[in-house]
Amino acid sequence: MLALRKSVFGAIAGFLTVSVCLVGQFPARGTDSVSEKAEDTRKSINLEALSRLKGIDLESNAAVKAAVLRILDQVRGTPQFVQIVRDFNVKGQTAGLLEVIQQDPSGPSGAEAARLLLAGEDPGELKGALNDTNVESVIEALGNTGEKATVPLLLPIVTETSRPLLVRKKAVEALAKTREGASSLLDLARAKTLPEDLKSTASQELNNVRWDNLKSDAAQLLPPTAKQEAHALVPIPELVSRKGDPQKGAAVFRRETVGCFKCHQINGEGVDFGPNLSEIGTKLAKDALYVSIRDPSAGISFGYEAWLLDFKNGDDALGLIVSETKDELALKAVGGLVTRYKKSEIARRTKQKLSIMPAGLEQTMSTDDLVDLVEYLSSLKKRQ
């Protein structure tokens, strides 16, 4: 059986090596449509061949290693790059992983790239990236991993007042996505060392966390501002009566601080996590759209029920169950990152009564912005 396995590996590796080498015999990409299609076809074949070698030790097979490194150069900056680095445990790819993060900080490939960097052998490389000019993207991707290992990296940024405010706000938002990070932010508030210019952001994030004890502490230490409470009191019938600007609403949807695109897709744009909104205007009237934003738990779409996994080591994870086998469960977290967990490591799983979409989204925008956003969503109709 072992001999057969080696024989199969050898055959695929040989095919893969020949296929990759042939790339150099064709005209450069972009010279004509025929060569473009040919290159895309060869790339697809190479990726398919690689998928059959998943898990092989590259250090024991020089031919496969050389082919893998060549293909990595071809798919640099794409989700396939991250997948290959992960599946083959390729070392020395920090620069390429950071490139993916810059291109997709809010999506699953950026989060997976950040997770690989967290598990890397040289934490100094990741610390260096947190001092680079594009640090906001790195912080966002780290937050989307949901890993508690991000806390010691991000917490110092919060109190480094020499850094730009936007960077420190990003760190607060990322920390609030893990129980350990949220708890650490509350510790800063208790010790009165949380910078004044971050209290509003921390209040907004921590009063919407999923851990009841931390949410209760946040209500005491960082209560919602009067402005936030007043904003929530605008009656829905009054909002429905207002006329918004759909073009401005489209910008609100894509605004970083609002972040609708981080969980929803519209016509292929955005992250595939929550329900697709491409035809939401056909499905929901304006009043229902306002309710879904203000109180997401009022009506949870089928298949988008949140599950909380409690692990035997004390960790937890929240997300949507996307697949399950006898031994494994795949959970999609906010941001679209899918993680597979062994069932033997799960102590229990609990279906949540509350939507995974947090309440309080309207607090991230003005009332006019909210009206514009709903006007835009209402305009998204099914094509006749």
What is the CATH topology of the domain spanning 228-300+358-378?
Cytochrome Bc1 Complex; Chain D, domain 2 (1.10.760)
Question: Under CATH, which number does the domain 307-351 receive?
Answer: 2.30.30
Q: Which residues of the chain have pLDDT under 50?
A: 1-9, 11-12, 15, 17-29
Q: What are phi and psi of 172, to 5 degrees?
A: -60, -45
pLDDT-above-70 percentage for the chain: 81
How far apart CA 174 and CA 334 sit, in angstroms, is 12
Crossing angle (nearest 10°) for helices 367-378 and 246-253: 100
Q: 350: part of which helix (H) or strand (E)? A: strand 346-351
Q: Provide the pLDDT for residue 21.
A: 44
Phi-psi region of 303 (alpha: psi -120 to 50; beta: other; left: phi over 0): left
Q: Provide the pLDDT for residue 18.
A: 43
Q: 340: part of which helix (H) or strand (E)? A: strand 338-342
* Domain coordinates in residue numbering, the chain: 1-74, 228-300+358-378, 307-351
Beta strand pairing call for 307-311 and 316-324: antiparallel
Exposure string (b/e) for 271-287, b if CB count within 10 Å is 16 or more? Answer: bebbbebbebbeebebe
How far apart CA 332 and CA 341 sit, in angstroms, is 11
Segment 326-330 long-range contacts (CB within 8 Å, at least 24 positions apart): none
Q: 67: part of which helix (H) or strand (E)? A: helix 62-74
Q: What is the pLDDT of residues 119-173, one digit of tens each?
A: 886 767 788 889 888 899 999 999 999 999 999 999 999 999 999 999 999 999 9
Q: Provide the pLDDT for residue 194.
A: 97
Q: Provide the pLDDT for residue 246.
A: 94
